[in-house]
Amino acid sequence: MSSRQILLSGLFLCLFAIAGTTFVAVTENLAREQIVENERRVLLRNLHALLPEEKLDNNIVADTLRIQASELLGTDEPSLVYRARYRGDPVAAIFNSIAPNGYSGKIHLLVGVYFDGSIAGVRVLKHSETPGLGDAIEIRKSDWVLDFDGRSLGNPPRAQWLVKRDKGVYDQFTGATITPRAIVQAVKNTLLYYEQNVGKIFL
Amino acid sequence: MSDKQEITRNGLWTNNVALVQLLGLCPLLAVTSTVVNGIGLGIATLITLVLSNTLVSLIRGFIRSEVRLPVFVLIIACIVTIIELTMKALFYDLYLVLGIFIPLIVTNCAIIGRAEGFASRNPVGVSALDGLMMGSGFLVVLALLGGMREIIGFGTLFSQADLMFGEKAKVLTLVFNESYGGFLLAILPPGAFFGLALLIVAKNIIGSRLKQQATAVEALPEST
């Protein structure tokens, strides 16, 4: 093959790369606004599931705080906290926590904590637990996560923030103890984090 | 039999991507836990196949053979990215479910296989038709497998149809037995293998029956 042919082939490939990239870029440009809006909508839906809409009057999606990585939140990179306020007074903070020790890896949680340290609600955002066993942590599969509502570090006492098999108060599922154990611990840790940092979160 | 009939028959039956060529198994086995998931990925694959076959066929005249494979990959990757972005904009909830499997369409060998094996040697019209039929064959298998696994695994059919067709489609969801506890095996990956195997068996049985009939008809002495 002559060098001219090689050059031509290279040029040909290059033209296609440019054309392809252009198409993708144009589409991205057209779709971007809608995608951002979709992400915002889903986020808002998740946040409102933890915190009734009428309890806050601020734009919770925008009122965020980027906090440093903390072992208590199970993260090794900074994460976002959403702050709910009513007439300027703090109402609740919603954390992105991770239970690092699920049965099949990390379980991503959204944990809402009222200003007084009680739990507004817990939802599982993402997980890869076994379908049919560990996935009862999803709200559409069972109401297990609702057991956290209203709990705090005093209710039950700290030493009993465990699943029943470990002499705590929380139910485990038949055939799956590791998953609920991981979540109970992650939620407890989130409360501990909140307790230690409440001053910084609502400045 | 005309060319078009032959292509249709090939895509849907004789040379079905999933049941005969056994291509694209990764997405096939991973997402078919419900009908809606199967159809969602099936439609995305179908669109990719039609577009990539059409484009490849259009450029087949002046493509340089040394770089044809990278160009095919480039075309397919662009199409899939555009589909992914569109889906994120228009069907975000479905996108959340199908997640990583949309980009994986790029790696579905069926698509580059059709580009190289068919579209790069045939005119635009028949190439598009080939894409449509191959894609439809794949879509049907995804939907069937999804249906089997959903009925056996969850005891429902068309659950989450609203993700794809909007709120009104919620009425489509059929629940056969409220107290059905579910059958875990069907939902887990092994269930997908069993399901696919059963579909292949069914296809082969039907295929050999048809063949027997055809030979029996031929064997009859002609009366005229």
Asked whether residue A132 is assigned to any structural domain, the reply reads yes
Q: What pLDDT, on a 0 to 100 scale, did the predictor assign at position B82?
A: 93
Domain tally, chain A: 1
C-alpha span between A172 and B28 (Å, rounded): 33
Residues of B in contact with A104 (CB under 8 A): none
Which residues of chain B make contact with A22, given a CB cutoff of 8 A?
none
- pTM here is 0.79
At a CB cut-off of 8 Å and minimum separation 6, what does B119 contact?
B52, B53, B54, B56, B57, B60, B127, B130, B131
Beta bridge partners of B93: none
**Closest Cα in chain A to B75:** A20
For residue B222, what pLDDT is reported?
58
pLDDT score for A142: 86
- Asked if this assembly's ipTM is beyond 0.85, the reply is no
Q: Can you give the pLDDT at residue B223? A: 53
Domains identified in chain B, total number: 1
Assess if residue B180 is contained within a domain. Answer: yes
The per-residue pLDDT for range A109-150, each reduced to its tens digit, is 999 999 999 999 999 988 888 877 888 898 887 899 999 999
Q: Bigger pLDDT: B223 or B9? A: B9
Q: What is the average per-residue pLDDT within B184-199? A: 89
The predicted structure's pLDDT at residue B204: 92
Average pLDDT, whole number, for chain B?
A: 86
Instruction: Count CA atoms closer than 13 A to A95's CA, side-chain side.
Output: 33
Position with higher pLDDT, A32 vs B187:
A32
Average pLDDT of span A163-192 = 91
Domain assignment present for residue A88? The answer is yes
Considering the domain boundaries, does residue B224 fall inside one? no
The answer to the question of residue A188 being in a domain is: yes
Structural domain for A140, as ranges: 51-201
Asked whether residue A101 is assigned to any structural domain, the reply reads: yes
Summarised one tens digit per residue, pLDDT across range B36-45 is 888 888 999 9
- Cβ B66–A133 below 8 Å, yes or no? no
Each residue's pLDDT tens digit, A75-98: 888 888 999 999 989 999 999 999
C-alpha span between B195 and B142 (Å, rounded) = 11
Write down the residue that tokens 């440019």 correspond to.
A18
Q: Is residue B114 part of a domain?
A: yes
Going by the DSSP 8-state scheme, the letter that residue A127 receives in this structure is -
Task: Please state the rounded mean pLDDT for residues B19-25.
Answer: 86
In terms of Cα–Cα distance, which of B41, B43, B44, B19 is closest to B31? B41
Query: Taking a C-beta distance cutoff of 8 angstroms, is the pair B54, B46 a contact?
Result: no
Residue A169, helix vs strand vs coil: coil
Q: Is the pLDDT of residue B138 over 50?
A: yes
Q: Is A17 on the interface with B (CB under 8 A)?
A: yes
Q: What is the pLDDT of residue A139?
A: 87
Please report the pLDDT score of residue A115 as a whole number. Answer: 93
Is A77 within a domain? yes
Mean pLDDT (chain A) is 90
- Which of these ranges, B107-116, B154-163, B209-218, has the smallest mean pLDDT? B154-163
Is the confidence at residue A185, as pLDDT, over 70?
A: yes
pLDDT at B1: 45
Of B64, B85, B182, the CB nearest to A28: B85
Q: Mean pLDDT across the stretch B45-50?
A: 94
Nearest to A110 by CA among A128, A137, A86: A137
Residue B68 falls inside a structural domain = yes
The residue-averaged pLDDT of A34-50 equals 90
Q: Say which residue the tokens 């069972």 belong to.
A: A142
Pair B174, B157: CB distance under 8 Å: yes
Residue of A nearest to B183 (CA): A132
pLDDT band at B215 (very low <50, low <70, confident <90, very high): confident
pLDDT at B209: 92
Residue A79, domain member (yes or no): yes
Kindly tell me if the per-residue pLDDT of A202 is higher than 80.
Answer: yes
Is A16 near chain B, with CB under 8 Å? yes
Residues of B in contact with A8 (CB under 8 A): 64
Judged by average pLDDT, the poorest of A122-136, B47-61, B75-89, B92-106 is: B92-106
Residue B19 lies in a domain: yes
Instruction: Give B106 or A113, the one with higher predicted confidence.
Output: A113
Q: Which of A127, A93, A130 is nearest to A108 (CA)?
A: A127
Interface with A, mutate which of B52, B62, B82 (most A CBs under 10 A): B82
Nearest CA of chain A to the CA of B108: how many Å?
19
Q: CB atoms < 10 A from the CB of B20, how many?
A: 16
